[in-house]
Amino acid sequence: MSKQYNVGLVGIGAVGAEMVKVLRQRKFPAKAIQVFASRERDEVIAGETFHVLPTTKDSFKGFDIVLFAGGTTASIEYKDAVVAAGAKMIDNSRAFRQDPDVPLVVPQVNAEDLDWNKGVIANPNCTTAIMLEAVAPLHKAKGLKRLVASTYQAASGAGAAGMAELEEQMREMVAGKPLTVKAFAHQLTNNLIPHIDKFDETNWYTLEELKMRNEARKMLHAPDLLLSCTSVRVPIPRAHSESLNLEFEQDITPEEARAILNDAPGVKVVDDPLNNVYPMPLDATDKYDVLAGRIRQDISRLDKKGLDMFVSGDQLLRGAALNAVEIAECLVARGLV
Residues with active-site annotation: 126, 240
Closest by alpha carbon to 137, among 287, 282, 309? 309
Beta-carbon contacts of 42 under 8 Å, excluding residues fewer than 6 positions away, are 49, 50, 51, 52
Closest by alpha carbon to 317, among 278, 296, 295, 288? 288
Whether 34 and 63 have beta carbons less than 8 Å apart is answered as: yes
Distance from CA of residue 110 to its chain's centroid?
14
Beta-carbon contacts of 92 under 8 Å, excluding residues fewer than 6 positions away, are 15, 67, 68, 69, 123, 320, 324
Whether 247 and 148 have beta carbons less than 8 Å apart is answered as: no
Burial of 118 (0-12, 13-18, 19+ CB in 10 A): exposed
What number of other Cβ atoms are within 10 A of residue 150's Cβ? Answer: 16
CA gap 288, 107 in Å, rounded? 13
Residues paired with residue 16 on neighbouring β-strands, in sequence order: none
CA gap 152, 166 in Å, rounded? 15
Tell me 291's DSSP state.
E
